[in-house]
Structure 1
């Protein structure tokens, strides 16, 4: 049985392994460059601009990238994207070797890599339905999630060791080798053609028309549109948590405790990814799996606001990240089954653009909400100190706790209301399989 599954997914497994190695290499460079920038500038603003440069270009170009992915051969799209990222890595290495590397060089290089990612990610995701039988799509999605989890867990730890041994130049060289490995695995395989009779693609249509077709396809299908709205909400909440978890934990614990909690989160994501890969198909209705784990994830964040406790934070963070692979994997599996392969690049690019754009929005509002509204309310002499403060406490960090609780009550109510919407609850029955 296992051998038959391996044979059916052989090409996907080769591609997946190459991308896994490349993800770990990219994570090494990302961590090392972040450390380098902060050590040289001691500026949180400069570090934040690097993060923005890594995200914004990908968001802006995603619709056009998705259209081009559907026009082009997806294997070659991944090869060119990986090659482009490798070239920027070599450029950074050369500038570093000649002692000419400046901060603005990093902004430019990271921005170019972000553009490459805008092509690589939808091409990789959309290729899954071409390489994997539909009964194994959830398993394949779990494997993709496990690759990302491995990179998140391994890269920072490995980069910290390598920085002391081979320094930044050595880390960048290792990253370049991982890019070459990923490209080599892609050159060794062939992908089926994405064209099919079910597609609505007009060969003579303009690139702009194709770019917005991903949004049009989702917008006219209420079930998929509601699923997109829920994912946008999830990404906004995740962005707030990413920014505010650190000051919340440091309000009652040490930096080493924060590191332990974050490491447990990475372990939870890896374990969830492996569980989904082994489990394979998941529940008969994948939409139920999405709602179950989505509710669990939001309850975990709500719990973070109830009490300042290491044990509680460690368990909640572990379960939160454990849920993410199931939510993302089941959603990808539904889309891969229901969206015609010849427009999947556009649909996944649209999904990425809208959902990822919610993360920098959360970055922008997180500080204002915490520092100017919720923290003053929960100060020792704050407006809510005598009421809510008696339940969750007062002082530093308690305002962030109240923000988490308030945000999650709203989010859970939205999720429950969305589940009662028939177009979303029965989306797997109402939309025919495209593969």
Structure 2
């Protein structure tokens, strides 16, 4: 009876498919997935409001792009260190309590931030600590959430599920800058903090309810006997290493994603100081809103068009288009062109990211999905750490002075990219966009990576033993 309930939740006929039986297509919007979707929506709404409000607050307090990048760096380093722990928690422990505990810790950290603000003790250094704590929480929560969704959603609906989640995130990003600006205008940063606490609490309840309806998604590994936390962490890392040895093409996808993330994160992290260097926060809100609208358009495209084949080509093509618009944004100085670039870039990036996410959910074994997702996120953050240290320094200390009105590059490079305030950051966009476009073309020229969909078989969604040491079937 228990197995039949699991099959019904997974959209499969009890007893398995019989000969000549064509299983009915499973619906995407089941109660379990709907609750998890609502949970992530609430969490993202609070994060979007806080992210916009704190980003503006930091830059207005310091006026420094380098300190702005340091705030993001403070979030990246602790999250990287949490990867082994996050993977083990996502695969070997009850995901209801993992996600719920993360949400409680998130609410407590926001309460501490509110106390500092109300007592007029809040300084930029406190926000570095807040970002670090938030990054640790997110590093633990996200692999557990993604692993649970990958088990609940049918394999042929994974791209659509990614598109639906991306659509709500884009809708929130469209409204969040305007909403955050309004709330800050009425009640200051205190009002944004209050809304974030309510959203986090609601998200925790929805996530717990969703996973309680889909108990087969609570753990990736079937627990036959208790395993210590330290031993579980070692087993989690071993499972990731076994998987990448058996599927080297997926390791190539991870490497491509890390390099691409490292280049493009500069553009996303430096958009705020680039715009605010010559325009007001209202213009920044408009640019970010246009970008979110583009992300919404890309997500709607995934919902309307069934992208279940050649996903790797969609990834590479989307990344190439995204890179071109990042490059164009570096040459621009007008808010209108920035809005167009933001819309088109995030439309391409939304489709590309959802297809890449669907590939990882399809190809990764169920028992180690949380661990693989955690390590992929850690590798991305390592790249972000490296480029943020370099980008913040180059943008503010090298490129900006060199492309000032009387700078040493004013009569050479300045003829092409312009001179004055913000042009050094614009040149940073140009370099990163060009490098990212070249990387996409190089990846497209590699047959093994280009044909990843067919070279790497989809993983079977069956429970795995708790302490299995045998490697999966070779792939790639």
TM-score over 0.5 (shorter chain) = yes
Shift, 1:318, TM fit: 1.1
CA displacement, residues 137-166 of structure 1 (integer Å, 9 cap, x when unaligned): 001111222233233332232122223334
Q: Which residue is equivalent to 1:152?
A: 173
Aligned 8 A contact 1:64 1:208 in 2: no
- Cα deviation, residue 132, structure 1: 0.6
Q: CA deviation at 1:308?
A: 4.2
Provide, for residues 177-215 of structure 1, a one-character-per-residue CA deviation record: whole Å limited to 9, x for no partner. 22221122223232343567999x996855234235435
Q: Displacement, 1:300?
A: 1.0
- Post-superposition shift, 1:24? 0.8
- The worse-fitting range, judged by mean Cα deviation, of 122-131 and 139-148 is 139-148
C-alpha displacement of 1:299: 1.1
TM-score normalized by the length of structure 1: 0.84
Match of 1:214 among 229, 240, 254: 240
Q: CA RMSD in A?
A: 3.6
1:4-403 matched pairs, under 5 angstroms: 6=27, 9-33=30-54, 42=62, 44=64, 50-93=71-114, 99=119, 101-103=121-123, 107-189=128-210, 190=212, 191-193=214-216, 207-211=233-237, 213-214=239-240, 217-218=243-244, 221-246=247-272, 248-249=274-275, 256-279=282-305, 281-282=306-307, 284-306=309-331, 308-371=333-396, 374=399, 391-393=416-418, 397-403=422-428
Q: Match of 1:188, SS?
A: helix
Could you list the per-position Cα deviations for residues 228-275 of structure 1 after superposition, in whole angstroms to 9, with x for gaps in the alignment?
222222222223213544565567766654443332112212222233
Equivalents in 2 of 1:261, 1:31: separation in Å? 12
**Distance in 2 between residues matched to 1:413 and 1:347, nearest whole Å:** 27
CA contact (8 A) 1:283 1:289 kept: no
Residue-pair matches, total = 429
Select between 155-164 and 339-348 the one with higher mean Cα deviation.
155-164
Query: 1: distance between equivalents of 2:200 and 2:220?
Result: 31
Structure 1 alignment gaps of length 5 or more: none
Q: Deviations over 1:108-129 (max 9, x none)?
A: 4543333221111111111112
Counterpart contact for 2:326–2:433, Cα < 8 Å: yes
Q: State the Cα distance separating 1:216 from its structure 2 match.
A: 5.2
Q: Structure 1 residues 360-369 or 335-344, which shifts more?
A: 360-369
Q: Would the alpha carbon gap of residues 86 and 377 (structure 1) be closer, same or farther in structure 2, given more than 3 Å must change?
A: closer
Tell me how far apart the structure 2 counterparts of residues 95 and 310 of structure 1 sit (CA, whole Å).
35
Q: Displacement of 1:23 after TM fit?
A: 1.7
**Residues of 2 paired with 1:179 and 1:269: CA distance?**
23
TM-score (normalizing by structure 2): 0.77
The alignment partner of 1:266 has SS state of helix
Counterpart of 1:427 in structure 2 is 452
Instruction: Give the 3 Å change call, closer, same or farther, for CA 261–219 of structure 1 in structure 2.
Output: farther
Going from structure 1 to structure 2, the CA distance change for 1:167 and 1:312 (only over 3 Å counts) comes to closer
Change beyond 3 A, Cα 1:68–1:4? same
In the alignment, the residues of structure 1 paired with residue 421 and residue 188 of structure 2 have an alpha-carbon distance, to the nearest angstrom, of 38
User: 3-state DSSP class of the match of 1:58?
Assistant: helix
Cα gap change, 1:4 to 1:158, in 2 (>3 Å): farther
Unaligned runs of 5+ in 2: 1-23, 462-476
> Aligned-pair distance for 1:333?
0.5
